[in-house]
A = this chain, B = another copy of it.
Amino acid sequence: MDESIKIPTTRNGTTTFNLLLKASEACFFEKGYHGTTVADITQKAGVAAGTFYLYFPSKMSLYRHLLNELSHDIRKEIASKIDPSLKRVDQEKAGIRAFLEYAIKNPHMYQIIWESLYIDRSLFQAYYDAFAKRYIKGLTPAKEAHEMANLDLEIVAYILMGITNFMGLKIILDLGESESKIDAVVDTIMHVLKHGLFTAE
């Protein structure tokens, strides 16, 4: 019943632990959580089946750990690319680009995040709620300074997440083709966010 993972204490243990994490990311990306067996993971990691259970009490606990890690990773990555001294509109541009670049570099991210909807819906909700909260926090000063329209920030946050998430997924799915189009994608999004899509009547 204890779902907590066992962090290794030695150099060798840490190596194995990380092999398992990397292998599982690759497997989950290829075949999804349910389509991946523990044997798949241990085989790809090059260790015996039993070794898995030295560190993870269950397949699910590994998944949870991955989601958690990914969540921190993305946040840190995006934050590092945003210069707080810029105007919010330019921060937004940097954030969108950072997200899309992260998605390209980590093509398994959607597999891990979206699959939570089918594994434990509360994990999915928690993930996007946390993301939305950060957005709202960032947008609030901009709203107060009238750098942006006077709109409900939670709705705005989901609009922005929807745009970036779908574009990221699109880019990943036809990888190779669109990967180079990142500039065009960012520019198009920013055009809509600055001037709207439809010409005023």
B156 and A167 within 8 A (CB): no
Q: Is A2's CB within 8 Å of the partner chain B?
A: no
* 8 Å CB interface, A142-156 against B: 142, 146-149, 151-152, 155-156
Separation of A185 and B189 alpha carbons in the complex (Å): 19
Q: Is A114's CB within 8 Å of the partner chain B?
A: yes
Separation of A197 and B190 alpha carbons in the complex (Å): 9
- Oligomeric state, in copies: 2
Contact with B along A134-148 (1 / 0, CB 8 A): 000000001000111
Interface centre among A35, A89, A159 (most CB of B within 10 A): A159
* A→B interface (CB under 8 Å): 32-35, 88-89, 92, 110-111, 114-115, 117-119, 121, 124-125, 128, 142, 146-149, 151-152, 155-156, 158-159, 161-167, 170, 173-174, 184-185, 188-189, 191-200
Can you report 20 A-B residue pairs in the complex whose CB atoms are below 8 A from each other? Answer: A88-B198, A111-B117, A142-B198, A146-B199, A147-B199, A148-B199, A149-B192, A149-B196, A151-B188, A151-B192, A158-B166, A158-B167, A158-B170, A159-B189, A163-B163, A166-B166, A193-B196, A193-B197, A193-B198, A194-B200
